[in-house]
Amino acid sequence: MTEPVRIGILGAAQIAERAVVRPARSIGAEVVAVAARDLGRAQDYARTHSIAKAYGSYEELLADPEVEVVYNPSPNSEHVRWTLAALRAGKHVLSEKPFGSNADEARLVAGEPNPSGLVVFEGFHHRYHPTYLRLLELVGTGAIGEVTELRVDMKFDCSNLADIRWSWPLAGGSLMDLGCYTLHVGRDVAAALGGTLELRSATATANAAADSRIDATAHVEAVLPNGARAVLESSLEGPADTSILVTGTRGTIRQPNFIDLTGDDRLIVTVDGTETVEHHGTTSTYTHQLRAMEAAVREGAIFPTDLANAITNMDYVDEAYRLAGLPLRESKARPA
């Protein structure tokens, strides 16, 4: 039997329960430690989630020989810093998205020596669910004819302006937290059509009560390799929408929710006027992702959200900001 991977969590983040704690239990992996900058907070988190060890600093967790894989859900501005620290400590890394503050910062990870072939895995969890994979398959096989338009929405109402998504020092913004998904989907659909996504224009709006450098909403126009239009929208101001719609000459493919399929795993395919609703399972996207991470660590399996893909996606995020006339998020990590 394959030995379960042993995971340590950097930060007592709320997302960690959905992204790692529950999925680990479902696949037999082990969360062996959690760290926070406040030891009491780490201990509370460890008690709540039955984690054996709690540390009052990230450095202590990275020094723990029992930890093999580090889950990095730190603020956007800290992602690369702690990914580099984990690699230098000899740990595999599952990093939350976006991978860094900007593409140049992300490239610091590619420049880091990695003679042991440690896995660097970006957490675009939707990429591993069978429903999303089926959508890409249908696009690639021409099930709805020639694709004429792609629309991807990633929106939710983050009305609390104290949330880190609104923070310039912490590399916030709708493109950073949400648009990184829409761009990723656009790139995947373009690849299914045999080419790459080309960004053409972008616009953004700010919240009057927030930092003007932070995009509350973003609208990106792009072109698929066959010349079809792609519309990619993100918003921190709602309304909630995490859907994909692909339109073709013979019909449509719609995934109503590509992020949380635990309650809605529908893929709605309409061809020549006939609608079919496919179901590919309500196992969470995070569980599928953690299985892929485990296979990469234990078996050397290839996976799509690798370091090269992460850097490319940050290139797209940076280009969208340039097109929208907004500054890139500032790098915090530095070379060794």
Residues catalogued as catalytic: 97
**Count of CB atoms situated within 10 Å of the CB of 226:** 12
Count how many residues are written for the chain.
336
Angle between helices 180-192 and 130-140 (to 10 degrees): 40
Tokens of 68: 């093999």
Distance CA 201, CA 66 (A): 48
Core vs surface per residue 47-83: b (16+ CB within 10 A) or e = eebebebbbbebebbbebeebbbbbbbbbbbbbbbbb
Identify the DSSP state of 160.
-
Q: List, as one string, the DSSP characters of 238-301.
A: EEEEEEEEEEESSEEEEESBSS--SS--EEEEEETTEEEEEE---S-HHHHHHHHHHHHHHH--
Identify the DSSP state of 65.
T
- Inter-residue contact 317 to 179 (CB < 8 Å): yes
Residue type (1 letter), 71: Y
